[in-house]
A and B are shown apart, each in its own frame.
Chain A
């Protein structure tokens, strides 16, 4: 780690001001930032600690919207009764993420900002990676591609975004509310992370000095669930993950929201599937056709055609899991 100064700030305005300066970086739970510093992914001159800003670690209910402060630890999000009752998919996604220790540290605002786990990006001895060194290429494109993207990749980057809570938040149409020197904005959870066609270097659309101040989830999704398929039973990143939120009328789907995790550089909503499922019964032939329609634009890399089959089957299983839970 190269030396840095450490600043504890007292307000969001201070956090924005201090983290806008070139060479400054925000830190919250630290479970990603500390590893970036070790790997040399970043070498900030100043770390600005957001944890000392009061009021960013609360959960509140205003009307039909649950507001989750960005500094709420993952374990506390999952344990909260409003989350458990209204958004089982978010609770399950957290319990299937990382370990109990890390969930006590990591924050709900920081987790979706984690960088890809692509081994070429994280390599201790640098390999070509445009996210590591802009313009250096993509060692993964013609390397080991088993766990890389099946949607939205380009020759510049084939990596995937692994956040489980981020995938659940995308399925729930959550909104990240930000503050920035230019004002703030509302970012749809499905759009927070950037596809390589938008920006191959970036991991998400936040600008320097832009701070997430609130995460909003409106409505309820009691018929929702998270399915994570991974090489070992616990404490492992997903090969494919599925977040499902359904509204059903008897056994017919009235509304479906489905986001896939670890298949693209952002949570991947299956828009066509969601549309075509309406009016059909989970498990029916029409529902199966709807699932297949969601994969029309899937494109395998040389080593990961299996992920398309796996993801398709995982969606079918997650839908069944949601209605039988």
Chain B
């Protein structure tokens, strides 16, 4: 087994899904590892762990970002929203509902990242037509290739979210 040497700690404060978290942590910890291992928020997935697949997408300061490419120490004071923070009082977010309605997944591994990316895609206004949705959702890979259903779900949710 590889030996992991202990690292230097740094203090960081973030707001995760509305809750203030203040902690001392190893400087090497990424936002993704913090969410999954420290906060127990396993919605964001560790797919490639190098910024290529998008399955770790969360919102940082309201903007979509690959959590695997963000050092926690680098976002002191930021607000983070994960897929767990989308649901209000047990009600699915319109984007989550649309993914269910359109059968926009098979294995589901990429789905939390797809949904977070899609929520941001709508907020950015990049949902003019299917081509625009596909281009601006290209940072999220789906190896089951549910792309047509994902595009349809985003387009449907966009209409609902904007009305």
Give the B-binding residues of A (Cβ under 8 A): 1-6, 8, 27, 30-31, 34-35, 37-38, 47, 49, 51-52, 75, 98-102, 104-105, 234-235
Contact = CB atoms under 8 A, between A and B. Distances in A.
B8 A27 contact: no
Q: Is the interface of B mostly helix, strand, loop or mixed?
A: mixed
A38 B30 CA distance: 11
B73 A104 contact: no
Nearest to B62: A104
Contacts of A38: 49-50
Interface stretch (B80-88, B95-103, B104-112, B132-140): B132-140
Given A100-B117, A101-B117, A30 B76 contact: no
Interface string B36-75: 0000000000000111001001001001111011110110
A180 B46 CA distance: 38
B120 A100 contact: yes
Nearest to A105: B65
A100 B132 CA distance: 12
Given A30-B69, A100-B126, 17 more contacts: A1-B28, A3-B6, A3-B26, A3-B28, A5-B27, A6-B8, A8-B76, A27-B71, A27-B74, A30-B70, A30-B74, A75-B63, A98-B139, A99-B140, A100-B136, A101-B66, A104-B64
B92 interface: no
Given A4-B8, A30-B74, A35 B139 contact: no
A51 B74 contact: yes
Contacts of B26: 3
B73 A234 contact: no
18 contacts: A2-B5, A3-B5, A4-B27, A6-B27, A6-B71, A30-B69, A30-B70, A35-B50, A37-B28, A38-B49, A52-B76, A75-B63, A100-B120, A101-B54, A101-B117, A104-B63, A105-B69, A234-B135
A101 B139 contact: yes
Contacts of B137: 100
Contacts of A4: 7-8, 27-28
A35 B139 CA distance: 17
A102 B67 CA distance: 10
B121 interface: yes
A31 B126 CA distance: 23
B124 interface: yes
Nearest to B57: A101
B144 interface: no
A189 to B, nearest CB: 25
A100 B74 contact: no
A6 B139 CA distance: 29
A101 B10 CA distance: 26
Interface in B130-157: 134-140
A238 B112 CA distance: 29
Contacts of A30: 69-71, 74
Contact of A99 (B10, B126, B139): B139
Contact of A34 (B10, B69, B135, B140): B69
Nearest to B76: A8
9 closest cross-chain pairs (CB), A and B:
A99-B139, A3-B7, A234-B138, A6-B27, A235-B138, A5-B8, A6-B10, A6-B73, A104-B63
A102 B69 contact: yes
Contact of B66 (A5, A8, A52, A105): A105
Nearest to A45: B8
A110 B8 CA distance: 25
A2 B7 CA distance: 8
A75 B134 CA distance: 18
B51 A49 contact: no
Contacts of B139: 98-102, 235
